[in-house]
Amino acid sequence: MKKIISLFTCFFIVLGFTQVSYAESETLKRLKKQGYATVAVANEPPYSDIKSDGYVTGAAPDVARAVLNVLGVPDLKAEVIMYGAMIPALQARRVDMATSGLYIKPGRCESIIYSEPDLCGAEAFAVPAGNPNNLLTYEDIAANPSLKMTTCAGCAEEKYALERGVSADQIVYFDAPPSGIKMLQQGRVDVFALSGLGTADLLNKTNDPNLELVMPVTGVPMGCAGAAFNKDDLEFRSEYNMALAMLKATGEFAAIIEPYGFSAEATASKSYLTQCPDGM
């Protein structure tokens, strides 16, 4: 009898396990099998940073790596993709996720889905030292049509600018943030706009006394980013959120993002649903 009971127990345990693996999303199964996830990053430290040997790091990929580890996917492979092109890349499944500080915005939620917010931060400008045009808000740029600003095509800063009256002719798009700073140094543009921590990091590395940081830019919301997924990956997104919540609860999340200058507390106060009410 004992033998039969233990056999049954074994049977149910095995059944339990198969059920667990059965509940796994197709996407997660595929990623586990291949041993890595392909992610889109923008190479904008501290959000995402590709080392010269190709290793991808930065706050967003590090969070994603930790979350995927919990889910059983050991590695990340990164592709550098411009912000505007990340959504088409997700839709075409060229990448499994975008982990690069892609802000959660209602317009984007129509095309893709996000995890719960992982990185929140203020916005910034970089300007010539002394801020000769006295630029503190996007409205200040709009007020002087002879000024040129640079930012990335399809990123949140472009939308902030256009919504606040900056004309499309005033915007010069950079391919990568460092080339935007270069254009500012050379006087091709009057102001560089990007995330606060991203801009601060660039100015730090450029170490040019002729440039100055304006942070925070007032009149724009704090931008919150999350990992982004293809719209069909609802199940995978739930799995990701569960693992992310676990990391947030254990404090591991804070330990990952705080050295990069992000605040876990700022992130905790935001939820996906308040950012993207119609995004489900």
The DSSP bridge partners found for residue 126 are 192, 213
- Minimum distance between the CB of residue 122 and another protein, rounded to whole angstroms? 23
Q: Which of 148, 142, 240, 129 is nearest to 190 (CA)?
A: 148
* Strand boundaries in 18-110, DSSP class E: 36-41, 49-50, 56-57, 75-80, 97-98
By rule CB under 8 A, what string of x and - marks binding of each residue 193-232 to another protein? Answer: ----------------------------------------
Rounded CA-CA distance 113/252 in Å is 24
Interface residue with another protein among 36, 173, 212, 261 (CB under 8 A) is: 173
Q: Are strands 36-41 and 75-80 parallel, antiparallel or unpaired?
A: parallel
Name the residue type at position 119: L
Query: Is the CB of 186 or the CB of 207 nearer to another protein?
Result: 186
Segment interacting with another protein, rule: CB under 8 A, options 25-33, 124-132, 152-160, 265-273: 152-160
Q: Which residue, chain included where needed, has tokens 């982990």? A: 99
Q: Which residue, chain included where needed, has tokens 């995004």? A: 279
- End-to-end CA distance of the chain: give it in Å, rounded: 51
- Minimum distance between the CB of residue 183 and another protein, rounded to whole angstroms? 8
By rule CB under 8 A, what string of x and - marks binding of each residue 27-56 to another protein? Answer: ------------------------------
Rounded CA-CA distance 196/209 in Å is 18
By rule CB under 8 A, what string of x and - marks binding of each residue 58-97 to another protein? Answer: ------------------------xxxx-xx--x------
Segment interacting with another protein, rule: CB under 8 A, options 136-144, 166-174, 204-212, 261-269: 166-174
- Minimum distance between the CB of residue 256 and another protein, rounded to whole angstroms? 29
Q: How far is CA 33 from CA 73, 156, 158, in A?
A: 8, 35, 39
Interface residue with another protein among 62, 118, 158, 239 (CB under 8 A) is: 158
Interface residue with another protein among 77, 164, 182, 248 (CB under 8 A) is: 182
Interface residue with another protein among 175, 218, 259, 274 (CB under 8 A) is: 175
Does residue 147 bind another protein (CB under 8 A)?
A: no
Q: Which of 223, 237, 221, 235 is nearest to 98 (CA)?
A: 237
What's the residue count for the chain?
280
Are residues 264 and 118 in contact, defined by beta-carbon separation less than 8 angstroms?
A: no
Interface residue with another protein among 145, 188, 259, 273 (CB under 8 A) is: 188
Query: Is the CB of 112 or the CB of 256 nearer to another protein?
Result: 112
Q: Which residues contact another protein (rule: CB under 8 A)?
A: 82-85, 87-88, 91, 108, 111, 153-154, 158-159, 172-175, 179, 182-183, 186-188
